[in-house]
Amino acid sequence: MTKFAPLEHAVGLMWFRRDLRLEDNRALEHALASCKQLFAVFVLDTHILNDLPKQDRRVEFILNCLNELNTNIQASAKSQECGLLVLHDSSVQAIPRLAQQLGATAVFANHDDEPQSLSRDAEVRGQLASLGVSFETHKDHVIFERDEVLSQLGKPYGVFTPYKNAWLKKVTPHDLEPVKGPALAQWGKRPKGLEHARPPALQDIGFESTNLSTLGVPQGSLGALQLFKDFQGRMTHYKDRRDFPFAKGPSYLSVHLRFGTISIRSLARAAHQAMMQSDVGAGVWLSELIWRDFYHQIMFHHPRVVKGAFKPEYDQIVWESGASAKKLFGAWCKGETGYPLVDAAMMQLNQTGYMHNRLRMVTACFLIKDLGIDWRWGEAYFAEHLNDFDLAANNGGWQWASSSGCDAQPYFRIFNPITQSEKFDPEGKFIKRYLPQLSDWPSQALHAPWLACPPKESFKGVQIGKDYPAPIVDHAKARELTLKRYSVVKKAT
């Protein structure tokens, strides 16, 4: 059973971050069990928001989740005078100041192991300590973290399969149980001076509306639960459907895991129980959740991966540069490479903030190994546009594609964008959805349209090079250049 501290704080403060829910929340349960009165806060951190585009679906998603969280706290307190305090400020300044204003003797939060977050928390901890306030943090975002899964030599794993085997050997039903402690605390009423510290409108913090509402993305804890219930009925088919972007195969829960509107324990518990009953699809999905743990422990133990390769020798690679590289990168960003599956995937990202996982691999490999562009350029683009952007997973995925990361694909394994298209979108259903100019083309012509339509001629009303781009690179030639580019790695190893 989870151990809870005895009731020891007259006033406590729960600092929500990437855990926007009341249910099965480790830090919150400890706070409720050890405080007489509890306040809740979320900081719209200016150090983060100031670097974002003014139209950002994630900010809109967060605000909608904060509104739900505020409503749920009020319902729990049975009082409209209580609720979530929302501050638009620097967390380093706001949390100690608020704790002092409330007379709190403890601040509770869940771990965030991103390097900048650890630095922020260290600074907050120091300031709180100077005020005589404790800072208590808990594991909540993953099943196993930090040093919990180590090799027999006591070292962190750098290869996924041994990590996964150790993870599965270590996990017990207790690790996946929902957290439920005694709710002794009473929610505090909004103090004077903070009556207006409520979830703001987008324009109040300098942002503009996006198309999030038209996309039909379920939001908040209720939205996450809706998606999870739907996926549970499809989980057994996950292995067979997960690689086809036109099929309803994924769980679509990644953005909810990112912002913690659903507990990772509830998802892993359902997958593990089904896997133990010989459900192959559930086992494959559980592996994806374990990858998530794996990438987070990699980032904790090797924070240098944020800026460089996990395998340092890969930093010797000389990437394309200058105006030509920027032009190629721009075409990739806009979905104008001339390779329909790549372009449709980039259109999906730009229009919705979501990209199917198979297509994340395809587009990343194309940028790196067909265009010769530094993987960090693509990583940064995804970081800006993905609704579910998670530093550890995004970094791990891009380093996998570039062959520079832990347990990455070999550098000589280079996806062919045409055969990937033929294999995973054989009828062109996904391509046609995001490239409507090709919607009348037969499926066999969609994967390499320049072969079906001679230069300066039209096919189904489309002229290659005018209505749809000609290929910006020849894959066969690009492959040879990539092998030469990576030869420095071969020599180093």
Q: What is the CATH number of the domain that holds 128?
A: 3.40.50.620
Q: What residues are paired with 41 via a beta bridge?
A: 15, 85
Relative to beta strand 462-463, strand 106-110 is: unpaired
Domain membership of residue 230 (yes or no) is: yes
Cβ-based burial of 488 (10 A; exposed 0-12, middle 13-18, buried ≥19): middle
pLDDT at 100 over 60: yes
Tokens 């194309």 -> residue: 366
Q: What is the CATH number of the domain that holds 360?
A: 1.10.579.10
Domain membership of residue 117 (yes or no) is: yes
Looking at residue 470, the DSSP 8-state letter turns out to be P
Domain membership of residue 185 (yes or no) is: no
Q: Is there a single domain that holds both residue 127 and residue 151?
A: no
Q: Is there a single domain that holds both residue 169 and residue 120?
A: no
Domain membership of residue 365 (yes or no) is: yes
Element (H, E) at 73: helix 57-77
Tokens 């995804």 -> residue: 382
Number of structural domains (the chain) is 3
Confidence band (pLDDT; 50, 70, 90) for 6? low
Q: Is there a single domain that holds both residue 378 and residue 279?
A: no
Q: Is there a single domain that holds both residue 163 and residue 135?
A: no
Q: Which of 255, 279, 301 is the last residue of a domain?
A: 301
Q: Is there a single domain that holds both residue 274 and residue 319?
A: no
Amino acid at 429: K
pLDDT for res 493:
54
Q: Is there a single domain that holds both residue 164 and residue 65?
A: no
Confidence band (pLDDT; 50, 70, 90) for 180? confident
Domain membership of residue 421 (yes or no) is: yes
Confidence band (pLDDT; 50, 70, 90) for 3? low
pLDDT at 453 over 90: no
What are 139-172's pLDDT values in tens digits?
999 999 999 999 999 999 999 999 999 999 999 9
Q: Which of 264, 281, 301 is the last residue of a domain?
A: 301
Mean pLDDT computed over every residue of the chain: 95
Q: Are the C-beta atoms of residues 296 and 264 closer than 8 Å to each other?
A: no
pLDDT for res 35:
95
Q: Are the C-beta atoms of residues 49 and 74 closer than 8 Å to each other?
A: no
Q: Is there a single domain that holds both residue 373 and residue 261?
A: no
Q: Is there a single domain that holds both residue 264 and residue 412?
A: no
CA 366 to chain CA mean position, Å: 21
Q: Are the C-beta atoms of residues 273 and 172 closer than 8 Å to each other?
A: no
Contacts of 102 (CB under 8 A, 6+ apart): 11, 13, 39, 188, 191
pLDDT at 492 over 60: no
Domain membership of residue 472 (yes or no) is: yes
- Domain assignment of residue 389, given as a range: 312-492
Confidence band (pLDDT; 50, 70, 90) for 7? low
Q: Is there a single domain that holds both residue 17 and residue 62?
A: yes
Q: Are the C-beta atoms of residues 255 and 387 closer than 8 Å to each other?
A: yes
Domain membership of residue 213 (yes or no) is: no
Domain membership of residue 187 (yes or no) is: no
Q: What is the CATH number of the domain that holds 244?
A: 1.25.40.80
Average pLDDT over residues 391-414: 90
Average pLDDT over residues 279-302: 97
Q: Which of 140, 168, 191 is the last residue of a domain?
A: 140
What are 29-81's pLDDT values in tens digits?
999 999 999 999 999 999 999 999 999 999 999 999 999 999 999 999 999 99
| Active-site amino acid positions | 288, 291, 319, 357, 375, 398
Q: Is there a single domain that holds both residue 161 and residue 171?
A: yes
- Model-level pTM? 0.95
Q: Is there a single domain that holds both residue 269 and residue 344?
A: no
Q: Is there a single domain that holds both residue 487 and residue 411?
A: yes
Give the tokens for residue 340: 């329909």
